[in-house]
Amino acid sequence: MTTPPAKTLLMIGTTKGLFLATSSDDRLTWEVSGPHFSMTGVYSAAIDKRRSAPRLLAGVSSSHFGPSVATSDDLGGSWREPDQPPLAFPADTETSLGRVWQLAPGSAAEPDVVYAGTEPTALFRSVDGGVSYEMVRALWDHPHRKEWGEGFGGQAAHTVLPHPADPARVLVAMSTGGVYRSDDAGATWTTGNTGIRAYFLPDEWPEFGQCVHKVARDAGDPDRLYAQNHHGVYRSDDAGVTWNSIADGLPSDFGFAMVAHPHRSGVIYNFPLVADGERFPVERRCRPFRSVDAGTTWEPLAVGLPTDPYYAAVLRDAMCVDDAETAGVYFGTRAGEVYASRDEGDSWSLVAAHLPDVLCLRAAEV
């Protein structure tokens, strides 16, 4: 018998603002507030628990007034934004920030480090807990950059995975461009795409240029990674150097989300869509899949989810887990519905409906 958490917080980033759902009864019922940052797209969110009080971070993007990052140290009661742009491209890049696609707290050893992945594709690093950021120059200066392509969502670094224990190691994934790794705190970057197919290129097995949609890191083995590609689902057992398909047990190898359980090694979640050309849930069913053996086999999870035809997709950051002992799993759809499971995916219930398109979710005990 586990002790129920005092409170669970779920950040829901949508195309028209941030909603905050809180549960005080072990995720049975939820209260939703918002929208915070009304009429901005909230493409990224993070809950940084390395601080004495958890810090919420939100990457907000106004279609009129541009992008920014806001932080809250009182669980969303109040937000602050620096006077100066928290992220800005250096003048010599002749580039301006499009939006922040990812906010990722760094390793436990560096509690003030926060990474941001941006559009256009760049990595930024903060040493003040995510308030202000400097561009990681070596990735921007990488000779491949000119050849990184652009998907429908724009050219962006959408995955940033700092190594949990080694601050020198960080992995970035971008669309398009694929996976890049640094083992020296961002000073140099190498590709990590061997085995990931890019069917949309003349050379289907290029060194880089893949359209990786999301990468997740295994809870127990930091060198084990899982990737949802633009067609293709993969696992790496060597820290992202080489990849092998784990798509066989899924009904489709297309989708956006890939999430790893917070504590149980080998447990991952995915939401398959039919195909690139048909971005609906497989069989029109609102149904994530779970693997408990690192992708060897998969099972559909449908208890409590809608049974009528469902057409809305789950985007790359619109699925997450919390950090409870019995993990909560969450996903949000482009139909503005958010579902939660308090039993690791066995059953689901509705957190919120009729929201704008859900772009990102982050959850934690607070």
Partner 1 sequence: MVTLLVPAALRVDAAGASRLDVTACGTLRAVLDEVAGRWPRLDRRIRDERGELRRYVNVYVDGEDCRRGEGLDTPVPSGAEVQVIPSVAGG
User: Which residue, 12, 23, 5, is CA-closest to 331?
Assistant: 12
Please tell me whether residue 283 adopts helix, strand or coil conformation: helix
Task: Give me the least distance between CB of 65 and partner 1, in Å please.
Answer: 4
134 is an interface residue for partner 1 by CB under 8 A: no
Q: Counting contacts by CB under 8 A, is residue 96 touching partner 1?
A: yes
Least Cβ distance, residue 188 to partner 1 (angstroms) = 26
Among 49, 50, 73, 81, binds partner 1 (CB under 8 A): 81
The piece of 48-56, 84-92, 105-113, 276-284 that touches partner 1 (CB under 8 A) is 84-92
In the bound state with partner 1, the residue whose beta carbon lies nearer, of 52 and 84, is: 84
Length of the chain, please?
366
Residue 85 interacting with partner 1 (CB under 8 A): yes
Q: What is the dihedral of CA 299, 304, 310, 316, to 10 degrees?
A: -60
Q: Which of 52, 94, 203, 354 binds partner 1 (CB under 8 A)?
A: 94
Which value, to the nearest 10 degrees, does the dihedral of the CA atoms of residues 123, 129, 133, 139 take? -20
Task: Choose the binding region for partner 1 from 46-54, 88-96, 239-247, 320-328 (rule: CB under 8 A).
Answer: 88-96
Reduce the DSSP state of residue 93 to 3 states and report it. helix
Residue 70 Cβ vs partner 1, minimum distance, rounded to whole Å: 11
Burial of 289 (0-12, 13-18, 19+ CB in 10 A): buried
* Cβ atoms of residues 357 and 15 within 8 Å: yes
Which span sits near partner 1 by CB under 8 A: 78-86, 116-124, 161-169, 258-266?
78-86
**Position 91 contacts partner 1 (CB under 8 A):** yes
Sign for the CA dihedral angle at 141, 143, 147, 153 comes to negative
What are the distances in angstroms from CA 347 to CA 249, 306, 307, 342, 361?
20, 12, 13, 7, 19
* DSSP 3-state of 185: coil
Nearer to partner 1, 65 or 199 (CB): 65
What is the DSSP secondary structure assignment for residue 182, as one 8-state letter?
E
Among 29, 33, 63, 307, binds partner 1 (CB under 8 A): 63
**What residues numbered 97-126 form the site for partner 1, per CB under 8 A?**
97
Structure tokens, 16 = 């028209």
In the chain, the largest separation of any two C-alpha atoms, in whole Å, equals 58
Which alpha helices (DSSP H) does 34-170 contain, by range? 137-140
In terms of C-beta density within 10 A (0-12 exposed, 13-18 middle, 19 or more buried), how is residue 248 classed?
exposed
With binding defined as CB under 8 A, does residue 52 bind partner 1?
no
Q: Which stretch binds partner 1 (CB under 8 A): 25-33, 89-97, 269-277, 304-312?
A: 89-97
Nearer to partner 1, 34 or 240 (CB): 34
The residues, any chain, with a CB within 8 Å of residue 132's CB and separated by 6 or more, are 82, 84, 86, 126
Among 22, 24, 95, 194, binds partner 1 (CB under 8 A): 95
Question: Which run of H or E residues covers position 228?
Answer: strand 225-229
Distance of CA 243 to the CA centre of its chain: 20
Question: Taking a C-beta distance cutoff of 8 angstroms, is the pair 323, 262 a contact?
Answer: yes
User: Could you say which of 22, 24, 62, 347 contacts partner 1 (CB under 8 A)?
Assistant: 62
**One residue of 7, 22, 73, 88 binding partner 1 per CB under 8 A:** 88
Among 37, 43, 89, 289, binds partner 1 (CB under 8 A): 89
Segment lying near partner 1 (by CB under 8 A), choices 18-26, 93-101, 149-157, 260-268: 93-101
Residue 331 binding partner 1, by CB under 8 A: no
Closer by beta carbon to partner 1, 100 or else 196 = 100
Considering the complex, state which of residue 86 and residue 328 has its C-beta at the smaller distance from partner 1: 86
Pick the piece of the chain touching partner 1 (CB under 8 A) from 26-34, 81-89, 210-218, 312-320. 81-89
Residues that bind partner 1 (CB under 8 A): 62-66, 68, 81, 83-85, 88-89, 91, 94-97
